[in-house]
Structure 1
Amino acid sequence: MLGVECLVYSLVMVGWFIVTITFLVSGIFLLVNNLVGDTCVAMNEWLQNPTVDSALENIIPNIDNQITKKILSATKDVTYGVVEVTNTYISNVSNANATSYAGASYYNQSGPLVPLLCNPYNEDDTDRHCAPNEVNFENASEAWEKYMCDVSLVGNCVTPGRLTPLGYKQITALVNVSSGLYHGMPFVIELMNGTFLKKTLSDLSKMLCSGIEEYSMWVFTGLVASSTMLMFLLVHWIVYSEHRRCRAYTKKTDAALYWKKVSC
């Protein structure tokens, strides 16, 4: 009997411990759920009207449109300048029919002329369309490779061609710089004017906030149901154990009375 009581008390203690942990986890879950819910509400408010004073508006940095325009203009100017430097080298050096008296501009270049690099902008930063005989950022390196020549120890061409390996390396490096500025500029603009942030928050809202209340209620209901069921089982086990003990005591008492009557 003593062993049964010890087992019951042990189960009661373990059960209360589990119940306590369950309610503690439920509280933490509710706290996290409220935080996530408030965040989702704040994101939706900001996405619907970014200019209105909201919780996110106070922490998201705003960049003035004039600053954005200046950065855009400066990026276009640099891209335009790098392409112009590249084309100046091709026109005045690679495509020049220089003589041996031209100094560094002569390295025995010959053969078909190297096509110029397409400049995506005019001098006034307006968009420019490529001419038919120009190469663009995507195919410039591959196109110019056909115009390379083999060089001697002093760096002069010994085969037909208008670009030395060193010259080819230099102008392709300039292409990579201008291409990076040109293709990276839209992302920078989206980052500065908030378009990228809006898209990111919109994706997060659709992916994480959709149905969060429904899922949260399911989890919370499951935790409460588990705790309630465990409490019920513990109480039932205590009542059952007490009932068994009472029955055992009653049988023992009845047996004692019976033997007492017999002995009399």
Structure 2
Amino acid sequence: MKFSVSVFVALAFVSLPSSVALSRDSSSSAAAQEPLKLILGSPNFGSWKGVISSADSLAPGPSSDFSDYLVLAADRTKRPDILRAFKPYRGGWNITNNHYWASVGFTGAPGFILAAVWILSFGSLLVVYHCCKWRVCEKAKGSSYNSRRICLILLIIFTCAAAVGCILLSVGQNKFHTEALHTLKYVVNQSDYTVGILQNVTQYLSLAKTINVTRFSLPPNVLGEIDKLNVNLNNAAVTLQETTTDNAAKIKRVFYAVRSALIAVATVMLILSFLGFLLSLLRHQHLVHIIVVSGWILVAVTFILCGVFLILNNAISDTCVAMKEWVDNPHAETALSSILPCVDEQTTNQTLAQSKVVINSIVTVVNTFVYAYANTNPSPNQDHYYNQSGPPMPPLCSPFDGNMEDRECSSQELSISNASSVWESYICEVSQTGICTTVGRVTPEIYGQLVAAVNESYALEHYTPPLLSFRDCNFVRDTFESITSDYCPPLVRNLRIVNAGLGLISVGVLLCLVLWVFYANRPQREEVFADPRPQVKDGPFVNGLDSHHHSGDESKLSA
């Protein structure tokens, strides 16, 4: 069960967009060009954990100064720690801490203790019953009519209680299974959204390597940085997608296994309760004994399942509370800091600055071509002549100034969003030699190169902010907030229904087992419903009285 819960939580973390982290160099000049680096923040992927070039680029992890450390779900997790001689655990929610799991495991102790007590106590009772069977049978035969009737009524009540528990268990496990799959689907969808963003950025970055407007292209250093970003983003998308798919499949198998086990328990217990009741009514003592032994083992299994689901209930509740507290303090130093690192504002700004540099470089390439080639009227003997003519093309607007601050476009400049459609009217028709035969400033081939450059700028301008929101933990915070508000309550509620069903089955069948043995050894049917008043038995003295009485009657008749 620890595995299933940890895998679920790990998948939730690794499949969220915050699993891609940025790193920065100690040098400020190199930091502006430091590429994205992948980090999968899950304890299940040890080789990826903590792959960060500089620790100061992340939200601070646990330190010796606990004054700034936020213990998640502190009130809920104050439980005895089995690994520390049952001393109180005060470390809060932390799935990477064995002491946390030891404290959560302690919450299932009632079910496990009941299972052990039941196995020993009822086993001893069965041994005593078989060793002293004749005494039990004599007491049963001598029991009163009212006690046998009360026993029958109790059997009916406890059998109905067990049946109600089976129904609760079936309904609860079905709802829990549905809600668990919905939660998993939501997390996977969030992962798919992240992968889609990364793949879109990767595709547009791949286009940057082909940007070549006639003789103008991006500087080699910018192309190098684009290549690094492209490789890292592609690796992040592929790894994230594969990890999410693999973990989702494992979790689904766990969910279906749990569902099958609960359905089997509900079905077997329902059949067992009614079969035992029927056999006890028909006085099939040997069959009743077989049913009793089977029920003895199954009740112990049910108590163990109660303990397991108590652990699962507390683990999920702890996780939901921890997520809620982290949502309120996303950048606080918590147990999630080593699992879900968030990039600080400085690194985010450096990444944004790098994307702005690339956008300005692309705009510079485009505008250099517009002013030096497209809007000139060269003579036919010049190398950049292709018979361009007509009104001059408007240049592309750079959304950032020299200090990488936002700027407004002038009326003569085109924004990145509408430049492609406006430039389409400046395309000329060309001959087989590539010379314009109509009025126009660009050939279709050059127009395609311009569109590629604009698309690259558009991609960086529109897809970088969502990626940065991942790094700011905003997207993760929204995801966790949705999970805690929409998915946690039904999960916890349905787990309680499952526990209630298991408890009702355990108690109902447990009490039925005791009554089956005694009720199956009751007297014959006709004796049960006979007049409970004592009957006069035959004997020598009684026969003598009867003989005397009859002889007296005969004498009277003869007289």
User: How would you bin the TM-score normalised by the shorter chain?
Assistant: 0.7 to 0.9
Residue 380 (structure 2) aligns with: 100
Q: 2:453 aligns with which of 159, 174, 198?
A: 174
Counterpart-to-counterpart distance in 1, 2:415 and 2:379: 30
Q: Deviations over 1:162-205 (max 9, x none)?
A: 22121111111111111111112212322222222222222222
Counterpart-to-counterpart distance in 1, 2:478 and 2:294: 49
Q: 2:432 aligns with which of 142, 153, 164?
A: 153
Describe the shift of the 1:165–1:3 C-alpha distance in structure 2 as closer, same or farther (beyond 3 A).
farther
Residue 90 (structure 1) aligns with: 370
Farther off after superposition, 25-34 or 227-236: 227-236
Counterpart-to-counterpart distance in 1, 2:362 and 2:300: 69
Instruction: Give the SS at the match of 1:119.
Output: coil
Q: Which residue type is aligned with residue 365 of structure 2?
A: V
Question: How far 1:238 sits from its partner (Å)?
Answer: 3.4
Say if 2:343 is the partner of 1:63: yes
Q: Which residue type is aligned with residue 198 of structure 1?
A: R
Question: How far 1:102 sits from its partner (Å)?
Answer: 1.8
Residue 489 (structure 2) aligns with: 210
Describe the shift of the 1:233–1:145 C-alpha distance in structure 2 as closer, same or farther (beyond 3 A).
farther
Residue 397 (structure 2) aligns with: 118
Q: Deviations over 1:110-162 (max 9, x none)?
A: 23332322221112211111223433232222222222222222211223222
Where does 1:12-31 land on structure 2 (aligned, <5 Å)?
A: 12-31=292-311
Q: Which residue type is aligned with residue 350 of structure 2?
A: K
Counterpart-to-counterpart distance in 1, 2:298 and 2:399: 69
Question: How far 1:211 sits from its partner (Å)?
Answer: 5.9
Describe the shift of the 1:16–1:109 C-alpha distance in structure 2 as closer, same or farther (beyond 3 A).
farther
Question: How far 1:13 sits from its partner (Å)?
Answer: 4.1
Farther off after superposition, 220-229 or 60-69: 60-69
Q: Which residue type is aligned with residue 364 of structure 2?
A: E
Q: Which residue type is aligned with residue 323 of structure 2?
A: M
Instruction: Give the SS at the match of 1:118.
Output: coil
Q: Deviations over 1:48-91 (max 9, x none)?
A: 23454322234332434332222222221211111121122122
Say what the alpha-carbon RMSD is for the aligned residues. Answer: 2.9
Describe the shift of the 1:107–1:11 C-alpha distance in structure 2 as closer, same or farther (beyond 3 A).
same
Structure of greater relative contact order (alpha carbons < 8 Å, 6+ residues apart):
2
Describe the shift of the 1:192–1:52 C-alpha distance in structure 2 as closer, same or farther (beyond 3 A).
closer
Say if 2:284 is the partner of 1:7: no
Counterpart-to-counterpart distance in 1, 2:405 and 2:413: 18
Say if 2:522 is the partner of 1:239: no
Q: 2:503 aligns with which of 224, 242, 252?
A: 224
Farther off after superposition, 185-194 or 79-88: 185-194
Counterpart-to-counterpart distance in 2, 1:142 and 1:6: 89
Counterpart-to-counterpart distance in 1, 2:372 and 2:450: 13
Residue 189 (structure 2) aligns with: none
Q: 1:34 aligns with which of 310, 314, 320?
A: 314
Residue 49 (structure 1) aligns with: 329
Counterpart-to-counterpart distance in 1, 2:477 and 2:516: 57
Structure 2 regions of 5+ residues with no counterpart? 1-278, 529-536, 544-559
Calculate the TM-score normalised by the size of structure 2.
0.41
Describe the shift of the 1:159–1:21 C-alpha distance in structure 2 as closer, same or farther (beyond 3 A).
farther
Question: How far 1:212 sits from its partner (Å)?
Answer: 5.2
Say if 2:401 is the partner of 1:144: no
- Paired positions, count: 251
Structure 1 regions of 5+ residues with no counterpart? 252-256
Contact 2:348 2:468 in 1 (8 A): yes
Q: Which residue type is aligned with residue 351 of structure 2?
A: I
Residue 187 (structure 1) aligns with: 466
Instruction: Give the SS at the match of 1:146.
Output: helix
Counterpart-to-counterpart distance in 2, 1:90 and 1:46: 51
Describe the shift of the 1:146–1:14 C-alpha distance in structure 2 as closer, same or farther (beyond 3 A).
farther
Instruction: Give the SS at the match of 1:63.
Output: coil
Describe the shift of the 1:14–1:144 C-alpha distance in structure 2 as closer, same or farther (beyond 3 A).
farther
Q: Deviations over 1:12-45 (max 9, x none)?
A: 3443454344333322222222221221222222
Counterpart-to-counterpart distance in 2, 1:248 and 1:86: 103
Counterpart-to-counterpart distance in 2, 1:135 and 1:89: 15
Q: Percent identity?
A: 36
Counterpart-to-counterpart distance in 1, 2:318 and 2:455: 45
Counterpart-to-counterpart distance in 2, 1:131 and 1:16: 85
Describe the shift of the 1:13–1:91 C-alpha distance in structure 2 as closer, same or farther (beyond 3 A).
farther
Describe the shift of the 1:136–1:236 C-alpha distance in structure 2 as closer, same or farther (beyond 3 A).
farther
Q: Which residue type is aligned with residue 452 of structure 2?
A: A
Counterpart-to-counterpart distance in 2, 1:97 and 1:13: 101
Residue 275 (structure 2) aligns with: none
Residue 352 (structure 2) aligns with: 72
Contact 1:97 1:110 in 2 (8 A): yes
Counterpart-to-counterpart distance in 2, 1:122 and 1:39: 46
